[in-house]
A and B are shown apart, each in its own frame.
Chain A
Amino acid sequence: MNQEKLLEVKNLKQYFKTGRHSVVKAVDGISFDIYKGETFGLVGESGCGKSTTGRSIIRLYDATDGQVKFAGEDVHGKKSKAKLKEFNQKMQMIFQDPYASLNPRMTVMDIIAEGLDIHGLVKNPKERKARVHDLLERVGLNKEHANRYPHEFSGGQRQRIGIARALAVDPEFIIADEPISALDVSIQAQVVNLLKELQKEHGYTYLFIAHDLSMVKYISDRIGVMYFGKMVELADSDELYKNPLHPYTKSLLSAIPLPDPDYERNRIRTEYNPADHDTSETPKFREVRPNHWVLCTTKEFEAYKKQVKN
């Protein structure tokens, strides 16, 4: 794989003040890189900070601390309007809820073309129309849909409109925040296939955020597992599924129900108890084996290393 780093996240922290003395550490010092052309999956249960991570990366929140570098440039911090615009064009987002993320008072044409207008990517109305029609076809809808309003579409179709909007400005990097969890099973497969095809054709880089592990495994090249604002394990997706090391990853994997009654009858679930860790030492993110990182103490690190060798 191409090993050029497109996005570097270093020690990213995102805290929210919830009262005079209480702070929620939604994201608490995570670091990872995303390479050009790959799909990076981010999983964890609700409230673990995976969506916040995505939103901080695209600057929907101002990071409390840490650094996000996109193509070598810092994302956060002061920026001129022109710079910001340039950045916004390269990074786009697909939102979770296809019902809430499209303006009900705008036609599909205007929704998709909004980015084109802002960035001045089209010169005249004719070109604008042609671009929107092209985008609609790219995501599996057709030209006639351009003059309709969002309420005339089903959930799956709306998500396609959301995808077309993200693609309109020719981004390099797309953050997909639970793009399929609001959709039906049969439609989920359609949208995932579409995302994969688009990536093959145009070489997009994805950050795919979801809690459905089997879908994440299917679409991602590498996966990061988050737990309470921290990244606990990061590895190639096959490696993560075959050799999960962190007990939380293990419990998460053992909890996925698979469509196989016989497997389900014999499934043994492991439970994760955070108290099992040695708390005398602050755990660090360490590389147990090339490209396989785990949050662990020195003792656990040795144990994992031994485990990996066998």
Chain B
Amino acid sequence: MENILEVNNLQVSFDTYGGEVQAVRGVSFNLKKGETLAIVGESGSGKSVTTRALARLIPSPPGRIKEGEILFDGKDLAKLSDKQMQAIRGKDISTIFQDPMTSLNPTMKIGTQIMEGLIKHQKMSKSQAKERTIELLELVGLPNPSERVDQYPHQFSGGQRQRIVIAIALACNPKILIADEPTTALDVTIQAQILELMKDIQKKTDSSIIFITHDLGVVANVADRVAVMYAGKIVEIGTADEIFYNPKHPYTWGLIGSMPTLDNTEESLVAIPGSPPDMLNPPKGDAFAPRNDFALEIDREMEPPMFKVSDTHYAATWLLHEYAPHVEPPEAVKRRMKGFASTGAASNGEGDQS
């Protein structure tokens, strides 16, 4: 499949009074047409900053893209002027924000908010735009849209507002949809509906989605591929099956181990000790080493490169080096991997499983 977006060595920093906060420290990945890439990680891991940089939504100052390129449609988005970017943002790349309660303008009718992009980018007339708006609201499953276009955000529930935000993002048939924790503020039942809706729309429009979340359950539901971020870097990337059934990075083990499963209550959860590093002074070597039970001597000295596990699966941990001792994931994580496999999943044992 062709790549629609390529990110190479992206670095984003914020200049603060305390010094330079290195939020994103060299992120590279690509996005294929029609796929969903999930980015997971804790708050402060740089997942939101990465995607905001893609849409050039980093306020500058204090933020700046220090290095790297974002290749989209033959252009390097990192080097475009604000004016040039405005033609792309909202049209080819659009964003669904986390909080549906605050991302809509409370003083504008929802119809007008959806029409904005259509009039600006598609050069539609007002009446055309309104027609299309009603279509969009139907697409996202809002009941009797022709009446509701003229209502204000406060007249809708949280789930409905998120549907409206999705309608705004979809208005110009974007090639890339960035969803920044679109369901975190919603209840599980509503969350399930929104996820189904997004998958449905993706099938119809063949757009690519970058999905940010910290909920591994949601990742398993939506993602084709998963990138795990820690301290401003991607530490493991692979297909959803590879990440869940054959994780290689100790941080990924920790994330999987800290989720309770529904059928066990006896053992305690595998918590990751400590808290994420301060990005004002990122630690030397592997940033995860201080919290990692499996850290090697070298982790404190040198940062691990990306090791190849399979053609689609890479992980940045020295444990994959040929001289590294053989380390097994913690029991709880292994049981989970096995438990998953026994539910009928194809176990994928490619790569160096020795």
Contact = CB atoms under 8 A, between A and B. Distances in A.
Are both chains from one complex?
A: yes
Given A213-B188, A260-B345, A185 B259 contact: yes
A186 B272 contact: yes
Contact of B340 (A190, A255, A262): A262
Nearest to B291: A186
Contacts of B275: 154, 156-157, 187
A184 interface: yes
Contacts of B215: 185, 257
A68 interface: no
B343 interface: yes
A184 B214 contact: yes
Best-buried of B221, B255, B343, B345 by chain A (most CB within 10 Å): B221
Nearest to B216: A259
Nearest to B190: A45
Nearest to A254: B192
Interface in B166-219: 187-192, 195-196, 214-219
B74 interface: no
B340 A263 contact: yes
Interface string B244-263: 11000000001111111110
Contacts of B223: 261
Contacts of A190: 271-273
A261 B270 contact: no
Given A184-B214, A185-B42, A185-B216, A257 B260 contact: no
A61 interface: no
A15 to B, nearest CB: 22
Interface in A105-155: 154
Contacts of B259: 185, 189, 214, 259
A184 B258 CA distance: 10
A96 interface: no
In the complex, which range does the number of interface residues on chain B fall in?
Answer: 35 or more
Nearest to A47: B187
Contacts of B192: 254-255, 257, 269
Interface in A239-289: 241, 251-252, 254-264, 267, 269, 272
B280 interface: no
Best-buried of A185, A211, A260, A272 by chain B (most CB within 10 Å): A260
Contact of A257 (B187, B221, B272): B221
A237 interface: yes
B188 A252 contact: yes
A45 B188 contact: yes
B188 A185 contact: no
B269 A258 contact: no
In the complex, which range does the number of interface residues on chain A fall in?
Answer: 35 or more
A101 interface: no
A189 B220 contact: no
B241 interface: yes
Contacts of A192: 260, 269
A213 B262 CA distance: 9
B269 A259 contact: no
Given A45-B187, A262-B345, A256 B258 contact: no
Interface in B231-289: 240-241, 244-245, 254-262, 265, 268-273, 275
Contacts of B272: 186, 189-190
A93 B246 CA distance: 41
A256 B189 CA distance: 8
B64 to A, nearest CB: 26
Best-buried of A184, A186, A197, A263 by chain B (most CB within 10 Å): A186
A269 B223 CA distance: 18
Given A215-B260, A257-B188, 20 more contacts: A45-B189, A184-B43, A184-B214, A185-B259, A188-B258, A190-B271, A213-B188, A214-B259, A218-B260, A256-B217, A257-B191, A257-B195, A257-B218, A258-B220, A259-B220, A259-B256, A261-B220, A261-B240, A261-B245, A267-B221
Interface of B: 42-43, 158, 187-192, 195-196, 214-221, 223, 240-241, 244-245, 254-262, 265, 268-273, 275, 336, 340, 343-346
17 contacts: A45-B189, A46-B158, A156-B275, A187-B271, A189-B258, A192-B260, A193-B269, A197-B268, A214-B262, A218-B269, A237-B265, A238-B265, A255-B188, A260-B220, A260-B345, A262-B340, A272-B189
